[in-house]
Copies of this chain bind each other. A is one copy, B any other.
Amino acid sequence: MTNDKGLLIVLSGPSGVGKGTVRKALFEDEETNFKYSISMTTRDKREGEVDGVDYFFKSREEFEQLIEQDKFIEYAEYVGNYYGTPVDFVHQTMEQGHDVFLEIEVEGAKQVRDKFPEALFIFLAPPSIEQLESRLVGRGTDSNEIIEHRISEAKRELTLMNLYDFVVVNDSIEEAKRKIRCIVEANHLRRSKVERHLRKLLLEVEE
């Protein structure tokens, strides 16, 4: 089925829910055969992050130039920084028949929904609000003010999960990973995705 277009998989969820950790676990696993679309951001690099691996780190000026050139599927300003998904990689990869995986903020996911309504929207939900709060505090990289802003943002983002097709509760990284893979596989088994095999069989029947 190499000529069939790949799926666009969008993983999102509130800040602090563990989207990045689940994404990393997925891509550390050899069985995961979707392509990761690396986001672009203007936020500071955190310890251990690598440019071109975790994100493409850009200046505000560079980012705004790319916005002008319509080079993003989605972008958002979030806690004072831009985050965006470069458009070219996503289109090319899907056309080649590979699934593309986006891990993005909820504001961005809303824009993707407008442009790719056929994408798989997966919301990563926290087991509880307490857990979400403790993760946002525990990260320990930000000031109190930023943490409080992020908590209130995260709560607002939670109310957006009604826009998603699937919800995966992140109570275990291994389970979250397995469930996301299963959602993708099931969608490849949708009738519309196996039409080539169907057409071939039906042609044989007519012979």
Could you tell me if B169 and A191 are in contact, using CB atoms closer than 8 angstroms?
Answer: no
Cβ of A79 under 8 Å from chain B: no
Interface residues of A in 148-192 (CB under 8 A from B): 155, 158-159, 161-162, 164-169, 179, 182-183, 185-187, 189-191
Chain B's closest residue to A200 (CB) is B128
Interface of A is mostly: helix
Residues on B with C-beta less than 8 A from A179 are 185-186, 189
Tell me which of B126, B169, B201 contacts A158 (CB under 8 A): B201
Could you tell me if B204 and A186 are in contact, using CB atoms closer than 8 angstroms?
Answer: no
Binding site for B on A (CB under 8 A): 123, 125-126, 128-129, 155, 158-159, 161-162, 164-169, 179, 182-183, 185-187, 189-191, 194, 197-198, 201-202, 204-205
